[in-house]
Structure 1
Amino acid sequence: MLPTELLMFRVKAGVVAPRRLKPTTANLQLAETLIATFEGNIGKKRSELNEDLRTLEGGRADFKVLRGLAHLLTQQCEFEHASNVEPYLIREKVFDLAQAGPPSRKRTEQVLEQAGKALELPPAELSASLYADLPDQQSLVTFDPLTPQDLIQRFDLAQAQGLLYRAYSLIITVRRNEPARYKQILKYAKLFGLMLTAEGDAKLGFTLTMDGPTSVFGSTTRYGLALAKFLPALLHVTKWDLTATLKPRRDLAWVDPNDEEWTFEVTSEDGYVTHYKAPEDHDSALESGFAERFAKLDTPWTLEREVDLIAVPGGVILPDFRLEHADGRSVLVEIVGYWRPDYLRKKFSSLRQSGREDVIVCVSERLNLDKAGVNIADFGERIVWFKGILNPKDVLSRAEQISVPAV
């Protein structure tokens, strides 16, 4: 992402829009030049790289664009100090020896010589390594380059992410997708510690609400950073709209002092590109095997992957599949395979708290539910037991039993 000072945006009538770069010849050439500059500095000190970047920046009106692109490329780098001995150990030895007498040029030479002997380093190498761990003295050892097009796309996304630093309300409307990718949303919401509530249904879509940093934690940016990191995950969902309410920046002279809040809106149609890895179609061999066997059946039922978000106290659950009949009937399918006791307790507790009677729960006979302290008596005929594999015919038979005609 980008630091606040490199964010570029405009505000009109309280609606904020981030700066975006068009893939023009000039912008692509700038990106290509920057990438080549980083590649040419592999093995050199960071201070030399920074000097080359300052040279490129000289006299440019779009210096913030250059700095933003360079900042993103820096995140593709690995810097290390070149010393064979940790610099902090060298400093400890030098400073300890220096206490023995008053400072002088001759005394400095003696101290470096003594420290070099103690650490088995030549004086010249010891002197060069004394502060080798400082950022500008570190060497660029690896660089994973982006293409010019990828760099421009990463810049656009980073500008949009930066607006979420100051968000205190974020609402996402996600519509029915194939594949849904809802699990990606829940995975990253949990990973980044975001609080999420869901309303709606699979037919019309879901509204996801996330609290931002100023509404819950006061004027901090930690939660805003989490919201910003979440945005690339949302891009894996194919149909969505996002509306964020932001706290205006008061450190900018051009900001209208009468603005009490800003609105930032972005949709799946805006062309942002994620750099997060796409999720797997299935989380386990059980689920993928079930889907493969189902696809070979001749049935009026269709199988969809993770298209329902069900609100439960303190969170959201996402059943593995939805079965929908040609006549409009539908049921949900949750597969419970080989998991730890604490997972089983939480899973069945969430299913029970959801209050949903249209969920078929497929449970492996290899699970010791009694040992886990799980009582499934109240799930009744909604339980389907299986051994090694889950037979879709058994699930379809149960679906015919518990499904109700569409209204």
Structure 2
Amino acid sequence: MLPTDLLSHRQNGEEIIPKRLKIDNKHLELANEIITSFQEAVGKTQGALERLLLELEGDTPDYRVKRGLAYILKSSFCTFEVVSPLEPQMLRERVFALAAKSVPSKELTQVTLSKIADELSQELEREVLPEQVSSGLYADLTENKILTAFDAPTATELLHRYNLSQVQGVFYKASQLVLNAHRNVPGEYKLLFRYLKLFQLMAYIEGDADHGFTITIDGPTSLFSPSTRYGLAIAKLIPALLHVTKWSLSATLQVRDFYTETWKTGRFTLNSDCGLVSHYPPGKPYDSMLEASFADKWDSLKTEWVLEREVDLIPIPGSVMIPDFRLVHPDGRSFLLEIIGYWRPEYLQKKFAQVRRAQCHNLILAISERLNLDKAGVKINDVPARIVWFKDKLLPKSVLAVME
């Protein structure tokens, strides 16, 4: 995604319209020119690449477009590495310690580099040249990192990624997003809901698979203190949404007026006919770090209980629940596991209301001790589920104990 300073949009009344590039010969030629610059820079320093891009940028009025395209290539398609015979900080210490024993001069500097190179050649059992020692001294600076690999996209792919990034940037300042998913294949719903969990978005889901779902997502500016990180999480959902066949959304935004420096309300709408192209794979997304950690620990646990990650939706009146895991025993017993981490009070109230309405008696709730349930008005004693408390990590043995 693009940083704020490379986003471009215009406003028509309250409507926010992000900049999108046409996939035409003019922009394809521009994208190819920038991609070629990166290909020519492989093996060179990041500083050399930046100078090449600055020369390409020139004094043209579309410099922000060029910077945006280059930013996407650097952040998503490039590998920059520190190339040094030794970790640069350690290398500096050795070179400076040896150099301090003699009076500084051009000749003695070369002697010092040669001596360190000989020492490292013996230690590493490979030839190290004085030039490698010299270039490795400050190889950890950003401008000195080497572009070691460039997985070049096509010009069309780059333009699609740019257009998607411009639209994603709209959601950085969203105060609310309402998404309507209309009668799609159940698998598409499951994928979308899993992404909601993956990005830890505070979503309230209403509806059913036969008629569609309305998903309300709280935005970063609706929290007690605005969070750019949460805005990024909402923006990351958009490429996942593009894998759903039929949908529409509307977002309420808090936009700062450029001239008056005051905050104004903006509106943004988008639907499945938007023409944007996702770079996310259509398959199952990765688990959150908390879920992944729990799954890894479960695999090393000696138990007959099998942990399943693909769980069917639990229909409840007017909504749906998506548990994180199912636990199955060979004797036929099974439990559903829902992990509840850090959420704001309003979300907790809705979540526990869903649990009560679901009346799912084989449900286990793993709840973070960091949550202030009393402040949220949640009464845990009337929740129809088995409860497991955890601090930073959910331990499989705790879950196993409540099942057995």
- Matched residues in 1 for 2:50 and 2:34: separation? 11
Is the alpha carbon distance of 1:353 and 1:193 closer, same or farther for their aligned partners in structure 2, counting shifts above 3 Å? closer
Sort the Cα spacing of 1:311 and 1:9 in 2 relative to 1 into closer, same or farther, 3 A: farther
Letter in 2 for 1:353: V
Aligned CA distance change for structure 1 residues 14 and 28 (closer, same or farther; 3 Å): same
Structure 1 residue aligned with 2:88: 87
Q: Distance in 1 between matches of 2:313 and 2:136?
A: 57
CA separation of 1:335 and 1:193: change in aligned 2, threshold 3 A: closer
Q: Does 1:187 align with 2:194?
A: yes
1:299 aligned residue: none
Pairing 1:32-181 to 2, within 5 Å after superposition: 32-74=32-74, 75-98=76-99, 100=101, 105=106, 108-109=109-110, 111-120=112-121, 121-181=128-188
Confirm or deny: 8 A CA contact 1:345 1:372 kept in the other structure.
no
SS at match of 2:184: coil
Q: How is 1:201-280 mapped onto 2 (pairs within 5 angstroms)? A: 201-250=208-257, 252-253=258-259, 257=261, 260-279=264-283
The alignment covers a number of residue pairs equal to: 323
The match for 1:393 is none
How many angstroms does 1:109 deviate by?
A: 4.7
Which portions of structure 1, spanning 4 or more consecutive aligned residues, are displaced by more than 4 angstroms? 98-111, 256-259, 305-312, 334-339, 356-359, 370-375
Could you tell me how far apart the structure 1 residues matched to 2:140 and 2:327 are? 50
Q: Which amino acid aligns with 1:17?
A: I
CA RMSD, 1 decimal: 3.7
Provide the C-alpha distance between the structure 2 equivalents of 1:35 and 1:156, rounded to a whole number of angstroms. Answer: 17
Q: Whole-Å Cα distance in 1 between the matches of residues 316 and 170 of structure 2?
A: 29
What displacement does 1:133 show? Answer: 2.3
Matches within 5 A, 1:332-371: 337=328, 344-346=335-337, 353=355, 355-356=357-358
In structure 2, stretches of 5+ residues that fail to align are 122-127, 285-310, 339-351, 364-398
Q: Shift of the alpha carbon at 1:139? A: 1.8
Deviations 1:59-115 (A, max 9, x none): 322111111111111120111233232222211222344555675656645554554
Name the SS of the counterpart of 2:256 in structure 1.
Answer: coil
Describe the superposition over 1:329-348 as per-residue Cα deviations: whole angstroms up to 9, x where unpaired: xxxxx997569x9982526x
Say whether the 8 Å CA contact 1:184–1:234 is kept in structure 2.
Answer: no
Q: What fraction of aligned residue pairs are identical, expressed as a percent?
A: 39
Give 1:201 deviation, angstroms: 2.9
Give the Å deviation of 1:134.
1.8
Residue 198 of structure 1 pairs with residue 205 of structure 2: yes
Task: Give me the whole-angstrom Cα distance separating, in 1, the residues matched to 2:150 and 2:333.
Answer: 42
Aligned to 2:252, the other structure's residue is in SS state strand
Q: Following the alignment from structure 1 to structure 2, what is the Cα–Cα distance between the partners of residues 72 and 307?
A: 36
For 2:200 and 2:233, locate their aligned partners in 1 and report how far apart those are by CA, in whole Å: 7
Taking the aligned partners of 1:195 and 1:242, their CA distance within structure 2 comes to 16
- Give the 3 Å change call, closer, same or farther, for CA 127–357 of structure 1 in structure 2: closer
Could you say which structure has the larger radius of gyration? 1
Supply the distance in 1 between the matched residues of 2:255 and 2:312 (Cα, whole angstroms): 37
Counterpart AA for 1:132: A
Cα offset, 1:354, TM superposition: 5.6
Q: C-alpha displacement at 1:178, in angstroms?
A: 2.3
**What amino acid sits opposite 1:119 in the alignment?**
L
Confirm or deny: 8 A CA contact 2:327 2:336 kept in the other structure.
no
Alignment TM-score, normalising by the size of structure 1 = 0.69
